[in-house]
Structure 1
Amino acid sequence: MLYSNKDLKKLIIPLVIEQTLAIAVGMADTIMISVVGEAAVSGVSLVDTVNILLINIFSALATGGAVVAGHFLGQKHPEEASKAAWQIIMFATTLALAISVLFIGFHDQLLRLIFGKIDTDVMQSAKTYLIITAVSFSGLAIYNSCAAIFRSMNNAKVTMWISLLINAINITGNAICIFGLKWGVAGAAIPTTVSRFVGAIVIFCMMFNPKKPINFCGQIRFKFNGDLIKKILYIAVPNGMENSMFQLGKIMVLSAVATMGTSAIAANAVANTLASWNILAGQAINLALVSVSAVCVGAGEYKQARYYTRKLMAITIGVTAVISVIMYVSMPVLVKMYSLGPEAAKMATDVMRFHNIMVVLFWVPSFTLPNTLRSAGDVIWTMVIAILSMWIFRVGASYLFTYQFGLGLLGVWGAMVIDWVFRAICYIWRYRGHKWETAMNRQREQ
């Protein structure tokens, strides 16, 4: 077997800790900013939805680089893996810089285009947060790319420690800037930007270790390698389109939520933060599965890819069920931490308890299973299914439930579950066949 239980623990446990840190700090951020008021929470949550769209693009590029590097490692070609790693750093950083310039220069137009007419105080908070955090996109791109490469080397401990550093800077900075300096929304945005650049610098420097199978020693050439970029983008573009359409769909749904009032926006923001705890194990194992299955596919070991997929999915469902039970019982206490009004608190509690149940049943086959398909190069299928499901079920049903049936915020979250169910059916059907196993061979022939 390519991975022993010890190897899997070495990869997964640091990723779980890393995800826990990220979610905990995100939760603390929201709690801290809630002191400034519901308008600040709403403005930050709206911009975070846009920021997540960009994070997904950078993550897709990083995943493309990690999959290609993983294939080379499985084939015992570390030099080619290192070349692929450097190419993704250059490409992702260049793209991030271009997006930063666009977002800073046209922030007002972008926010009004996406969210339409919202309360003046909410819009002001959103502008402040967007301008400051947009500066950090290049740092975010570098960090995500390097982190994905370390995971492809089965070394998630590095990303865990750097994540700890990033989150420590972020949470300490928030405490100083929000409570001490009274900078409001800017007090939440500035530490986020600083922490991202610190993390990027540290992990980038660590890539110059010649003892690692993938490293940047001797790779610094400011010239794009067309063949490697093509291989990376073959994985990254469909994955990026899938993630981008997914997040764009969420923004469209959020536009419907925005019409429900400030309480609904705040409740949705809090529920999204709490929902992250439900899928904590899944998010960590998704990252691990990309690396594990890419190496298995690169080595031609498809049976092992299937074995590890089943094993990691079973672990994810079990851990998710335990977390859901704990959260369901403690939900009223968790919601109280956010200083919401009575109406917003009730909405947040209702949608989260609904989420606690549904996530155990449908989330894993919807979001964990397709990572094996992507690692084998079967990216077109997963992209088409994800985009169709997002726009037909999550977006379409959200507007139907909101405007036709008047189900409010709970209707929006119900539409999300319908999306999960459709994805799960399609991905399970695809996985049970064998077409995904030959996707990488077809790519090579092309």
Structure 2
Amino acid sequence: MKILTDRKSSVDLLHGSILKSMIAFAIPLFFSNVFQQLYNTVDTVIIGYTLGDEALAAMGAAGAVYDLLIGFCFGIGNGLTIVTARSFGSGDEGRLKKSVACAVSLGAGIMAGITILSRFILYPFLRVLHTPPEIMDQSYAYVSTITLFIGVMFAYNLCAGLLRAIGNSVMPLVFLVLSSVLNIILDLFFITGLGMGVKGAAVATVIAQGVSVICCLIYIGWKVKILIPQRAHFTWDKKLYKEMLAQGLSMGLMNCVVSAGTAILQAGINSLGYLVIAGHTAARKLVQFLNMPFIAVSHTMSTFVSQNYGAGQAGRIRKAMKYSYLYGAALAGVVTVLMLFFAPALVRLLSGSSEKVVIENGALYLQAVAPALAILAMINPTRFGLQAIGQKMLPLYSSLIELVGKILFVAFLIPKFQYMAVIFCEPVIWCFMVTELLFAFWRNPFIKEGK
């Protein structure tokens, strides 16, 4: 049975040309990711230009904590919507609605717990990361404001994820464009107009994300009633709740472990001084922006694999995954060439700094990481693909490899080789991660033989 959706905004990932449907679904996702990243990038630019290197370093030092908590929440949301996508692929409308009800119930409970917990752990966590005393208060002001309203961030991610689960990647983009423009206006108002400093950037982000949530809910109620569960769909279903909780926590923990590794690496960077932090922060923001096309394909594969796994179509999954690898390699080549010529200018533009240390360190990081994006472009689609076919632990192992690798770099290599160890930390670790993931995915019985 084929579930009816808003055909104008949805892409059929179950039938027809694989490459055409992937592109049609991925393009809105790419622009959605771009505008999502604009939240932080605009913050970086405005803070760098108006408040200076110290404030930029404060936001960068808080970034690891932000990524840890937000990554966990977003991972849970993405994991919960995987089950919805499988139900859509199998044509089971009743299970689809029950999965939405379950996602809302589990998400609300988990977010309430995280909001309360964050009140107690943020300041100690920043101290553990060796955040310099001169930027501690600003770092705390930024991340504490974000986490106080973490439920708003999760709500948008869940609503957008549910729309994408049924093939609609267009409308989340529309709502993000609107809220991104609002975010820029509010950034200028709170940071420069009211003089709120880095905390103003956090307030602007929360308000803009809240607008996205409202827009998503209005659209779902108007056009996508298939995603609106009835009271009966909230009935306790032990098997479904157990499956979705395991799926959500698995993906949340995967993101959390990755972010924990990033936090540990940030601790090593923080020990090198605030000018190094500022340069690395600007460069890392740019890498996150350059990573948007790769992330779009990864999320496309998550939905594509989930739907086709529900429909039992292993052949389509194999072909789609190979397309994603080829695309990633080609794009990484283009990014590498661009970074060889324009990295210093981009760091200077993004940071607003004229300090030689800031610009040189940021440019070195960009030039070293750019070629390795081809490896990352294999890691994420494969990791999401494993999640989509119900493999909860194997993707987590790759995250543990990353965590252990970063611990070793921070403990032994950064003290000796300083920033050069920071630059090559992730590319080296990615080589080990991709080996484990490729072996796990392509030897899976369903992927090999459709069993």
> TM-score when scaled to structure 2?
0.90
Task: Note if 1:124 corresponds to 2:124.
Answer: no
Distance 2:145 2:334 in 1: 38
Instruction: Point out 4+ residue stretches in structure 1 off by more than 6 angstroms.
Output: 220-223, 438-441
Deviation by residue 1:48-97 (Cα, 9 ceiling, x = unmatched): 22121122222222222221111111211022112212221222222222
Deviation by residue 1:4-27 (Cα, 9 ceiling, x = unmatched): 344323311101111122234422
2:11 aligns to what?
A: none
Q: Does the 8 Å CA contact 1:10/1:155 hold for their aligned counterparts?
A: no
Greater relative CO, 1 or 2 (CA 8 Å, sep 6+): 2
What amino acid maps onto 1:31 in structure 2?
A: V
Task: Note if 1:108 corresponds to 2:123.
Answer: yes
How far the C-alpha of 1:229 sits from its partner, in A, is: 1.9
Task: Note if 1:32 corresponds to 2:32.
Answer: no
Which residue of 366, 371, 386 maps to 1:373?
386
5 Å-filtered alignment, 1:265-280, equals 265-280=277-292
How far the C-alpha of 1:298 sits from its partner, in A, is: 0.7
Which residue of 290, 294, 299 maps to 1:287?
299
Task: Note if 1:153 corresponds to 2:166.
Answer: yes
SS for the counterpart of 1:97 is: helix
Change in Cα spacing, 1:430 to 1:108, as seen in structure 2 (3 Å) is: closer
Q: Does the 8 Å CA contact 1:43/1:126 hold for their aligned counterparts?
A: yes
Deviation by residue 1:295-340 (Cα, 9 ceiling, x = unmatched): 1111111111111111122223222322332233211111112123
Change in Cα spacing, 1:51 to 1:369, as seen in structure 2 (3 Å) is: same
Q: Does the 8 Å CA contact 2:98/2:229 hold for their aligned counterparts?
A: no
Distance 1:415 1:255 in 2: 13
SS for the counterpart of 1:368 is: helix
Distance 2:312 2:25 in 1: 21
5 Å-filtered alignment, 1:15-26, equals 15-26=29-40
2:269 aligns to what?
A: 257
Distance 2:450 2:95 in 1: 17
What amino acid maps onto 1:214 in structure 2?
A: I
What amino acid maps onto 2:36 in structure 1?
A: A
What amino acid maps onto 1:36 in structure 2?
A: L
How far the C-alpha of 1:198 sits from its partner, in A, is: 1.6
1:444 aligns to what?
A: none
How far the C-alpha of 1:181 sits from its partner, in A, is: 2.2
2:329 aligns to what?
A: 317
What amino acid maps onto 1:180 in structure 2?
A: G
Distance 1:371 1:440 in 2: 18
Q: Does the 8 Å CA contact 1:331/1:349 hold for their aligned counterparts?
A: yes
Deviation by residue 1:156-184 (Cα, 9 ceiling, x = unmatched): 00110111122112111111222222221
Change in Cα spacing, 1:73 to 1:141, as seen in structure 2 (3 Å) is: same
Distance 1:373 1:78 in 2: 24
2:258 aligns to what?
A: 246
Bigger Cα displacement from structure 2, 42-51 vs 428-437: 428-437
Structure 1: gaps of 5 or more residues: 442-446
Distance 2:232 2:357 in 1: 56
SS for the counterpart of 2:393 is: helix
Q: Does the 8 Å CA contact 2:260/2:403 hold for their aligned counterparts?
A: no
5 Å-filtered alignment, 1:60-79, equals 60-79=75-94
Q: Does the 8 Å CA contact 1:22/1:163 hold for their aligned counterparts?
A: yes
Distance 2:61 2:291 in 1: 21
How far the C-alpha of 1:135 sits from its partner, in A, is: 2.4
1:432 aligns to what?
A: 442
2:214 aligns to what?
A: 201
What amino acid maps onto 1:181 in structure 2?
A: L
Distance 1:136 1:386 in 2: 27
SS for the counterpart of 1:369 is: helix
Deviation by residue 1:93-120 (Cα, 9 ceiling, x = unmatched): 22222222232355433432x324x333
Distance 1:107 1:426 in 2: 33
Distance 2:338 2:407 in 1: 30
How far the C-alpha of 1:440 sits from its partner, in A, is: 11
How far the C-alpha of 1:132 sits from its partner, in A, is: 1.5
5 Å-filtered alignment, 1:29-428, equals 29-34=43-48, 35-112=50-127, 114-116=128-130, 118-209=131-222, 212=224, 214-219=226-231, 225-337=237-349, 338-340=351-353, 341-360=355-374, 362-387=375-400, 389-403=401-415, 406-428=416-438
Structure 2: gaps of 5 or more residues: 1-13
Change in Cα spacing, 1:3 to 1:137, as seen in structure 2 (3 Å) is: farther
How far the C-alpha of 1:266 sits from its partner, in A, is: 1.1
What amino acid maps onto 1:373 in structure 2?
A: L
SS for the counterpart of 2:167 is: coil
Q: Once the two structures are aligned, what percentage of the paired residues are identical?
A: 17
Change in Cα spacing, 1:171 to 1:297, as seen in structure 2 (3 Å) is: same
Q: Does the 8 Å CA contact 1:178/1:187 hold for their aligned counterparts?
A: yes
SS for the counterpart of 1:154 is: coil
Bigger Cα displacement from structure 2, 214-223 vs 171-180: 214-223
Change in Cα spacing, 1:29 to 1:283, as seen in structure 2 (3 Å) is: same
What amino acid maps onto 1:350 in structure 2?
A: L
Aligned pairs, number: 434
Bigger Cα displacement from structure 2, 328-337 vs 291-300: 328-337
How far the C-alpha of 1:271 sits from its partner, in A, is: 1.6
SS for the counterpart of 1:247 is: helix
Aligned residues: CA RMSD: 2.3
Distance 1:105 1:285 in 2: 37
Q: Does the 8 Å CA contact 2:220/2:227 hold for their aligned counterparts?
A: yes
